[in-house]
Amino acid sequence: MSPKQLETHYDAVIVGAGAAGLSAALGLLRSEAYEAMRAEGREPDILVVSKLQPLRSHTGSAEGGIAASLGNIEHDDWHWHLYDTIKGGDWLVDQDMAAILAEEAPRTVIGLEHDGVAFSRNEDGTIAQRLFGGHTARFGEQPVHRTAYAADRIGHQILHSLWQQCVKERVRFAEEWYVSDLVVTRGDSGAAKVRGLVVLDTHSGKVHGIHADNVVLATGGAGRLFHTTSNSWDLTGDGMALALEAGLQLEDIEFVQFHPTGLAHTGILLSEAARGEGGRLLNADGEHFMDRYAPGHGDLAARDVVSRSIMAEVDAGRGVADPKDPDGPKDCVWLDLRALGRDTLKSKLPEVYETVRQYAGLDPAEDLVPIKPTAHYTMGGIPIGADGNVYEFSDGARHGVDGLFAAGECSCVSVHGANRLGANSLLDACLFGTRTGRSLAARIAESRDVDEDAYQTVDEAATRREHAIKALLAGAPQDAADTGDADAGADNAYRLMADLGALMERAAAVRCSHDTLTEAQAAIERDLLPRAERLTAHSDTAAFNQEVTAIMEVRHLLVVAQTMLSAADARHESRGALFRTDYPSRDDGRFLAHSMVGKSQEVLWQPVTITDYPPKARAY
Amino acid sequence: MTIAAAERMLSVTLRVARFTPKPERPGRRRGGSPFGSKSPFGGDGSESRSNRVRGKRWSQDYTVLAHADDSVLDCLLAVKRDQDPSLAFRYSCGHGMCGSDAVAINGTPTLLCTAKVRDWARPDSPEYANEDGFRPTGEPLDSSEHAIDLDALAPDTPLVIELAALPGFPTRRDLIADIDPMLDQIRRLKPYLEAKNELKTTAEGKVNVFEYLQHPDELARYELLSNCIACGVCEGSCPVYAGGEAFVGPAAMIMSSRFLNDSRDAAFQARLTALMGPDGSAACQSVRACSMHCPKGIDVGEELWQTIQKVDAAKAQLQ
């Protein structure tokens, strides 16, 4: 569904239609401020632009659950949730923001239930809750049932329920529209203000400039930076790249969570429950190696610990090849589920059992399963405050970007710190997405006058983009004509994306060092960026030309990759998901701070907000 | 259906029904007078109901070396990378959750990412036909009765998988279909919880802000239905829907059934009434082709039958 005709001006445009974008739309439309505007006869123009049909959003793949101290199984307290979140993030969490997350979590989950989410239930009819790694009672004393779930399909349930509520509220969508430019202007004082967006309607191939007073970026993560990822093909860091290209910064972008048990080279997740139920990790020699790395915790050590141990085994030459590609690299280890028996596998791990059979062609009751850490979540992103407002950090202070907001995985409100706790990502997206929607409504209610001249920069950007896309299409080989530049003709965006994924995986997956990071940075500058510049489409038909979108996506990925490498190189310590082989310990003296890095690659450091819980060693 | 040892490498030809739309001529379709082109019967006659897009149609072969266990999506992604980046098809999560990649494989609607090469590759030769002389195109996956053992064929037998856009919807480009009609029909049936607002009360009898209570047994009545990913496979399989007759379609009816069976929902009667029109439950002919390839394992035909009975009972009460 797309608008028949674009309005000349929008009060707010939300980019992305996953949990964060849809929550923002609902938060806006259900707010008191919006109701008041309606009562006055004022109908603000709101549009949700997304590169996928909303029901295809990657939120739908989330399996485990959403954390909230509902206390439906045993007593729970949001302060314990807060503590677990801070500790999980290796003390790089802004504690005031995490307090909002933990305190408002129960309300958020109840709200989702009221919106129709088919949560699993207890016998008394309340929402069921399960144990999840790192969630404890009494500040780490013992595990607590905190994670609300819907079998292993919580993301699907939340995505569909939010979309359904948007249907009810008559939210307007522009589907399969790709945002190519974020237009931000600066006043004489240097203060930044959003003016709108340039979008490509992929159905027609037409470029539009959209004048907007408020923009929300809710585009998701950047897992496609890595070859092996649990993320869908569409997680290309678009929102982060748009912010960078508009002259803004990213916060803590060096922190990427790798889930230890991706199914070999597919990257598809095998749930943590596989190890919880007794699955064991073995190296090429058949050794149960986790006892060596994490005595006492073994296979159930924290995600980053297990991922690092697997990579250490692979680096030591004790990895195994994916049986599907027996001559390929020995970069996997085995997950041994054979001892569980077929019945247990089927009853307790149905998704794992089916996924292994379907996507590896192996029988987990009889075969060893190849696994490999898979890029799962970007902790960092576009820096935002408690109400979703994007800011810039300079001269030791935050400066808000007027009218620009962000929510969900593409943003960084700093509740995940250096390593996200399981079941906190849907919570972040829904909770801060809703808050963003509300603050949007309040802003819209305040501002009334529209100065059309102010949007000239949007139209100029649209014209530039239109020419650029025409050039991409014009570069397509004609039916009869000679293609000319054979080299450019041989390359394409999909191949470049694959090469970037392989490069980033070698340089920065799970562990890195100054040498690997600078080598990757040099390879990008020397080889990949020039290749990206030379790319053209191979068909000159503009309608549904996926290659044009892919060219813009790979350019977005490259921009994000550069900042990720720069930020990782500047942090001379290991913390949470970032492990530097040349600086293996945490250094609170120098790096209890958020990295802030823009396209210039200059890295600034913003202190972490600590309220109640001073840093301690993070031991599990 | 075909079978092959999982570890085999197969050389397979993907035969893709391609389509490139003609560029819209400026000033023709849009931007004209908002009044001049209106026909008195509503809507612009030239953009008629069929919504057919003009363009070039052809069949193109791509040969790939694939693992017998690879998905057809893996093969198409390899084609995009190595042979033809202009080939258009939707895909996103790659593991059967997002519902983007419903197409027709050998004429059968199913998802690209869950279809394995060894289940769909078949000998590419005119001699290959069943006893009645027909090429089997729509064998359900679970029917191994007529399966061809690829390992038993001569090693150089050419293999083919035919791909086309999802039937029942206008094709926009190559394997991309316009599924907006399905989403419009889903939206028409108010696919959202209309809660009874029965909130749990405290010991003192005060209303408290808690979840709506639902027993696990009540959840079980609609949980499977709520797993629908709106991929459109059932719609493309339905001869009534894809055949162009007026039918709201199995996907929209499943979405409605999901709320009919949800103990929290208060719009039971209204939902049944909405299905009483001629394009509602009465249009379903119980062919049950919709059940064959549902990627979420919903027995769509049976669920529709249950709902039809509810609608019929409600109708009888009205009379």
| CA pair distance A500, A557, nearest whole angstrom | 8
Q: Which residues of B touch A164 (CB under 8 A)?
A: 191-193
Q: Collapse the DSSP code of A216 into the 3-class scheme (helix H, G, I; strand E, B; otherwise coil) and give the result.
A: strand
CATH of the domain at B277: 1.10.1060.10
Residue found under tokens 């910064």: A249
For residues B10 and B121, is the Cβ–Cβ distance under 8 A?
yes
Q: Residue A346's beta-bridge partner residues?
A: none
Contact A114 B230 (CB under 8 A): no
Average pLDDT for residues B61-80, to the nearest whole number?
A: 95
Same domain, B11 and B153: yes
- Distance (Å) of CA A42 to CA A11, A20, A260, A443: 11, 25, 51, 14
Which among A575, A592, A596, A610 is positioned nearest to A98, based on CA atoms? A610
Q: Collapse the DSSP code of A394 into the 3-class scheme (helix H, G, I; strand E, B; otherwise coil) and give the result.
A: strand
Strands (E), A4-44: 12-15
A36 has a chain B CB within 8 A of its CB = no
- Distance (Å) of CA A304 to CA A308, A378, A619: 6, 13, 12
- Residue B39, pLDDT score: 42
Q: Collapse the DSSP code of A496 into the 3-class scheme (helix H, G, I; strand E, B; otherwise coil) and give the result.
A: helix
Q: In this structure, what token pair is assigned to residue A63?
A: 């399996």
Q: Which residues of A touch B216 (CB under 8 A)?
A: 120-123
Q: Residue A188's beta-bridge partner residues?
A: none
CA distance A301 to chain B (A): 27
- Residue A489, pLDDT score: 52
Could you give the count of Cα atoms lying within 13 Å of B288 in the half-sphere of its Cβ? 8
Same domain, B129 and B244: no
- Residue A385, pLDDT score: 98
| pLDDT one-digit tens code per residue, A396-411 | 999 999 999 999 999 9
Q: Collapse the DSSP code of A384 into the 3-class scheme (helix H, G, I; strand E, B; otherwise coil) and give the result.
A: strand
Please tell me chain A's helix, strand, coil percentages from 3-state DSSP, rounded to the nearest 5: 40, 20, 40
Which among A583, A575, A579 is positioned nearest to A617, based on CA atoms? A575
ipTM of the complex: 0.94
For chain B, percent of residues with pLDDT exceeding 70: 78
For residue A490, count CB atoms less than 10 angstroms from its CB and return exposed for 0-12, middle for 13-18, buried for 19 or more: exposed
| CA pair distance B78, B75, nearest whole angstrom | 5
Q: How confident is the model at residue B3 (pLDDT cuts 50, 70, 90)?
A: low
B52: DSSP letter = P
Residue A515 has pLDDT above 70, yes or no: yes
| CA pair distance A547, A536, nearest whole angstrom | 8
Q: Which residues of A touch B214 (CB under 8 A)?
A: 121, 125
Q: How confident is the model at residue A276 (pLDDT cuts 50, 70, 90)?
A: confident
Residue A481 has pLDDT above 90, yes or no: no
| CA pair distance A85, A66, nearest whole angstrom | 13
Which has the higher per-residue pLDDT, B200 or B45? B200
Residue B200 has pLDDT above 70, yes or no: no
Please tell me chain B's helix, strand, coil percentages from 3-state DSSP, rounded to the nearest 5: 30, 20, 55
Q: Best residue in A63, A156, A473 to probe B by mutation, most B CBs within 10 Å?
A: A156
- Residue B6, pLDDT score: 56
Same domain, B190 and B151: no
| CA pair distance A16, A173, nearest whole angstrom | 10
Contact B183 A52 (CB under 8 A): no
Same domain, B157 and B222: no
Picking from A156, A355, A550, the nearest residue to B227 by CB comes out as: A156
Contact B86 A113 (CB under 8 A): no
- Residue B33, pLDDT score: 43
Q: Which residues of B touch A157 (CB under 8 A)?
A: 226
Helices B250-260 and B180-188 pack at an angle, to 10 degrees, of 30
For chain A, percent of residues with pLDDT exceeding 70: 97
How many residues would you count in chain B? 319
Q: How many CB atoms lie within 10 A of CB B319?
A: 4
Residue A509 has pLDDT above 50, yes or no: yes
Q: Best residue in A120, A123, A160 to probe B by mutation, most B CBs within 10 Å?
A: A160
Residue B186 has pLDDT above 90, yes or no: yes
Q: In this structure, what token pair is assigned to residue A174?
A: 């522009």
Q: Best residue in A232, A263, A268 to probe B by mutation, most B CBs within 10 Å?
A: A232
Cα B317 from chain centroid (whole Å) = 34
Dihedral (Cα; B131, B135, B138, B144), 10-degree rounding: 50
For residues A537 and A547, is the Cβ–Cβ distance under 8 A?
yes
Domain end, chosen from B140, B173, B206, is at: B173
Average pLDDT, chain A: 94
Q: Which residues of A touch B210 (CB under 8 A)?
A: 110, 126
Average pLDDT, chain B: 85
Q: What is the DSSP string of A202-269?
A: TTTTEEEEEEBS-EEE-----GGGSSSBSS-TT-S-HHHHHHHHTT--EESTT-EEEEEEEEGGG--B
A114 has a chain B CB within 8 A of its CB = yes
Which has the higher per-residue pLDDT, B279 or A489? B279
For residues A614 and A586, is the Cβ–Cβ distance under 8 A?
no
Q: How confident is the model at residue A358 (pLDDT cuts 50, 70, 90)?
A: confident
Picking from A164, A545, A550, the nearest residue to B191 by CB comes out as: A164
Nearest CA in chain B to A164: B192
CA distance A119 to chain B (A): 8
Q: How confident is the model at residue A242 (pLDDT cuts 50, 70, 90)?
A: very high
Backbone angles phi, psi at B294, to 5 degrees: -55, 120
Amino acid at B119: D
Per mean pLDDT, which range of B18-22, B122-126, B284-288 is the poorest?
Answer: B122-126
For residues B236 and B287, is the Cβ–Cβ distance under 8 A?
no
Active site residues of A: 303
| pLDDT one-digit tens code per residue, A522-580 | 999 999 999 999 999 999 999 999 999 999 999 999 999 999 999 999 999 999 999 99
Amino acid at A444: I
| CA pair distance A594, B272, nearest whole angstrom | 55
| CA pair distance A535, A500, nearest whole angstrom | 14
| pLDDT one-digit tens code per residue, B298-311 | 999 999 999 999 99
A53 has a chain B CB within 8 A of its CB = yes
Same domain, B254 and B112: no
A234 has a chain B CB within 8 A of its CB = yes
Backbone angles phi, psi at A357, to 5 degrees: -70, -45
Which contiguous run of DSSP H or E holds residue B62? strand B55-67
Q: In this structure, what token pair is assigned to residue B85?
A: 């980046």
- Distance (Å) of CA A167 to CA A113, A117, A171, A446: 17, 15, 6, 27
Same domain, B194 and B96: no
Average pLDDT for residues A501-514, to the nearest whole number?
A: 96
Same domain, B83 and B121: yes
- Residue A484, pLDDT score: 40
- Residue A151, pLDDT score: 87
| CA pair distance A7, A328, nearest whole angstrom | 53
CA distance B230 to chain A (A): 8
Domain end, chosen from B139, B173, B207, is at: B173
Cα A99 from chain centroid (whole Å) = 21
| CA pair distance A51, A73, nearest whole angstrom | 40
Contact B69 A324 (CB under 8 A): yes
CATH of the domain at B35: 3.10.20.30
Q: Do domains A259-378 and A456-597 have the same CATH topology?
A: no
For residues A241 and A557, is the Cβ–Cβ distance under 8 A?
yes
- Residue B36, pLDDT score: 42
For residues B271 and B256, is the Cβ–Cβ distance under 8 A?
yes
Nearest CA in chain A to B187: A167
Q: In this structure, what token pair is assigned to residue A550?
A: 């892919």
CA distance A177 to chain B (A): 14
Residue A298 has pLDDT above 60, yes or no: yes
Same domain, B144 and B209: no
Average pLDDT for residues B233-245, to the nearest whole number?
A: 91
Residue A359 has pLDDT above 60, yes or no: yes
Domain end, chosen from B173, B194, B221, is at: B173
Range A301-318 burial, b when 16+ CB lie within 10 A, else e: bbbbbbbbbbbbbbeeeb
Architecture per CATH, domain A12-60+157-212+234-255+385-398+412-438+445-455, reads as 3-Layer(bba) Sandwich (3.50)
Same domain, B91 and B213: no
Nearest CA in chain A to B31: A5
Domain A456-597 adopts which CATH fold? Methane Monooxygenase Hydroxylase; Chain G, domain 1 (1.20.58)
Contact A116 B98 (CB under 8 A): no
Average pLDDT for residues A296-318, to the nearest whole number?
A: 90
- Distance (Å) of CA A609 to CA A98, A105, A257: 10, 20, 22
Same domain, B225 and B274: yes
Average pLDDT for residues B163-173, to the nearest whole number?
A: 97
Contact A124 B193 (CB under 8 A): no
Average pLDDT for residues A148-153, to the nearest whole number?
A: 90
- Domain ranges (residues) in chain A: 12-60+157-212+234-255+385-398+412-438+445-455, 64-97+109-150, 259-378, 456-597
- Residue A275, pLDDT score: 87
Per mean pLDDT, which range of A267-276, A474-483, A606-615, B234-243 is the poorest?
Answer: A474-483
- Residue B153, pLDDT score: 81
Q: Which residues of B touch A55 (CB under 8 A)?
A: 98-99, 229-230
For residues A74 and A391, is the Cβ–Cβ distance under 8 A?
no
- Residue A398, pLDDT score: 98
Q: In this structure, what token pair is assigned to residue B41?
A: 């019967």
Residue found under tokens 């101290």: A69
Average pLDDT for residues A588-595, to the nearest whole number?
A: 98
For residues A110 and A134, is the Cβ–Cβ distance under 8 A?
no
Residue B274 has pLDDT above 70, yes or no: yes
| CA pair distance A79, A95, nearest whole angstrom | 11
| CA pair distance A515, A136, nearest whole angstrom | 38
CA distance B172 to chain A (A): 8
**Can you give the residue range of the structural domain that contains B155?**
2-173
Same domain, B85 and B111: yes
| CA pair distance B21, B57, nearest whole angstrom | 9
Q: Which residues contact A81 (CB under 8 A, 6 or more apart)?
A: A67, A68, A69, A101, A102, A105, A135, A146
Q: Collapse the DSSP code of B266 into the 3-class scheme (helix H, G, I; strand E, B; otherwise coil) and give the result.
A: coil
For residues B66 and B118, is the Cβ–Cβ distance under 8 A?
no
Q: In this structure, what token pair is assigned to residue A154?
A: 């919580």
Domain A259-378's class? alpha beta
Which among A169, A199, A201, A163 is positioned nearest to A18, based on CA atoms? A163
Q: Report the DSSP pairing between strands A280-282 and A511-512.
A: unpaired
Nearest CA in chain B to A232: B93
Residue A587 has pLDDT above 90, yes or no: yes
Based on the structure, what is the number of domains in chain B?
A: 2
CA distance B286 to chain A (A): 27
Contact A544 B172 (CB under 8 A): yes
Nearest CA in chain A to B171: A544
Same domain, B247 and B312: yes
- Residue B140, pLDDT score: 47
